[in-house]
Amino acid sequence: MPTDMVNELILRRRSSRAIAADRPVPAEAIESMLEAARWAPSSGNAQPWRFIVVNDAPSLQDARNALKPGNQAWANAAPVLFVACANPADDYEVGGQPLYLFDTGLAVQNLLLQGIHLGLVVHPMAGWDEEGIRNATGLPEPYRVICVIAVGYPGAPGALPEDLQKREAAERSRKTLTEISHFNRWSR
Ligand SMILES: Cc1cc2nc3c(=O)[nH]c(=O)nc-3n(C[C@H](O)[C@H](O)[C@H](O)COP(=O)(O)O)c2cc1C
């Protein structure tokens, strides 16, 4: 099986929702995730990514209020929210193709894998209100919010609503290799 050759960390990563509300994430763990992000590749080495670590009670409350209802309940347990942001002007575009979002995504994946390596739950989210995140964090224009990542130690799945408990236990699904790959020429 080709899966056998894939790095175990990549296979183990999943976007869990059961987070222990009462177990803080140590500063060294947070720093190591930022460090992992720092070493991502980027177009022209532009390194457009910036991260705001939200982990004090009042800032967390404001940031949680900026999450969309679908994410609110489970993500409220996370003792840390990372806000990944970037200034579109920091783009090193090639051939008219903007690349700052791509670069920031690579940095976020490094951050996620480092979190998984440390035994954390790391769950990226697009469900937030940009103005709300801006107000909670003081993020200035022209920076854009790219992704918010809920981080914490694993919690009890039984504390989640029933539908999310099912999703938590479900096998992850992916398109097949045939669906996503072509060799030498686009073949369908
Ligand atoms: C950019 C991005 C945005 C996402 N937004 C949300 C979200 O708002 N809420 C949520 O519960 N999950 C969100 N997810 C998690 C995806 O649902 C999840 O990655 C996908 O279903 C695959 O599952 P897995 O990460 O467990 O492999 C997001 C993931 C990414 C990469």
In a domain, 7, yes or no: no
Whether residue 60 lies inside any domain: the answer is yes
- Asked whether residue 106 is domain-assigned, the answer is yes
What's the rounded Cα separation, in Å, for the pair 42 and 18?
A: 32
Look at residue 79 and tell me if it is in a domain: yes
List all residues 6 or more positions away from 50 whose beta carbon is below 8 Å from its beta carbon: 84, 85, 86, 87, 143
Residues 6+ apart with CB under 8 A from 99: 42, 43, 46, 91, 92, 93
Ligand 1 atom index nearest CA of 74:
11
Q: What domain range includes position 92?
A: 20-180
pLDDT by residue for the chain (188 residues), tens digit each? 778 999 999 999 999 999 999 999 999 999 999 999 999 999 999 999 999 999 999 999 999 999 999 878 999 999 999 999 999 999 999 899 999 999 999 999 999 999 999 999 999 999 999 999 999 999 999 999 999 999 999 999 999 999 999 999 999 999 999 999 999 999 86
For residue 185, the CA-to-ligand 1 centroid distance in Å is 31
Pocket lined around ligand 1, Cβ cut-off 6 Å: 14-15, 71, 124-127, 147, 172
| Any domain includes 156 | yes
Nearest residue by C-alpha to atom 10 in ligand 1: 125
| 117 located within any domain | yes
Looking at the structure of the chain, the number of domains it has is 1
Instruction: Give the Å distance between the CA of 124 and the centre of ligand 1.
Output: 6
* Domain contains 45: yes
Atom of ligand 1 lying closest to residue 108 CA:
31
Of the CA atoms within 13 Å of residue 60, those in its CB half-sphere come to 15
Report the CATH number that the domain containing residue 168 is assigned in CATH. 3.40.109.10
For ligand 1, pick from 6, 11, 15 the residue to mutate: most ligand atoms within 8 Å of CB.
15
